[in-house]
Amino acid sequence: MFERMNPLNEVERMLTEMDRRLGGMVGRAHLLPWMRGVRPAIDLYDTGESLILKAAIPGARVDDIDVAVEHGVVTLRGHVPDTVEKEEAGRVTWYQRIIPSGPFNETVHLPAPVDPDLAVAAFADAVLTLTLPKVQEARVKHIAVRPADSVPDM
């Protein structure tokens, strides 16, 4: 039987073994910061009138988040604090450390032009909701369908 090798699983196995041999003094999460970074989960959808972007950022506070819209790109920046204070983190023995913390910087290219002056951002229950009204020209326009004999000749 063949087992497909996953390089990330091998890295994780190696880090786990190193951490075990070092008695948890280093902690796997600090060996490779790219494995530990904060990456908000993002949904983007179109209501016809607006684009709605939702970003899950657990652990963040309102003051931790910065939102910018420029040239059809939304940029989310911020910081998610550690779950344990720095002083305490140095005195504890970590057995598992998966909750992400640290800075984040995400960009999302928008599929339609929006009016950033009318954008609204709200943060509740760890989810940032950004409502971006589309410019008039980009909005969905519904055209009534009528019987052919009632439409004037063009």
> Per-residue pLDDT tens for 30-80?
445 445 578 899 999 999 999 999 999 999 999 999 999 999 999 999 999
Give percent of the chain with pLDDT exceeding 90. Answer: 48
Summarize the confidence of residues 130-142 as an average pLDDT.
87
Return the pLDDT at 96: 81
Cβ-proximal residues to 24 (8 Å cutoff; 6+ apart), any chain: 93, 94, 95
**pLDDT attached to residue 31:** 46
Quick one: average pLDDT of 101-119?
94
CATH class of 38-150: mainly beta
What are the residue boundaries of the structural domains of the chain, listed by start?
1-36, 38-150
pLDDT recorded at residue 97: 77
Question: Could you tell me how far CA 48 lies from the centroid of its own chain?
Answer: 23
Each residue of 87-100: pLDDT tens digit? 887 788 878 877 88
Write down the pTM of the prediction: 0.68
pLDDT of 1 over the 60 cut: no
> Which of the four pLDDT bands, split at 50, 70 and 90, describes residue 14?
confident
The three-state (H, E, C) secondary structure of the chain, written as one string: CCCCCCHHHHHHHHHHHHHHHCCCCCCHHHHCHHHHCCCCEEEEEECCCEEEEEEECCCCCHHHEEEEEECCEEEEEEEECCCCCHHHHCCCCCCCCCCCCEEEEEEEECCCCECHHHCEEEEECCEEEEEEEECHHHCCCCCCCCCHHHCCCC
93, with CB counted inside 10 A (0-12, 13-18, 19+), is: exposed
| Mean per-residue pLDDT over the chain, rounded | 83
Q: Which two tokens stand for residue 101?
A: 């913390």
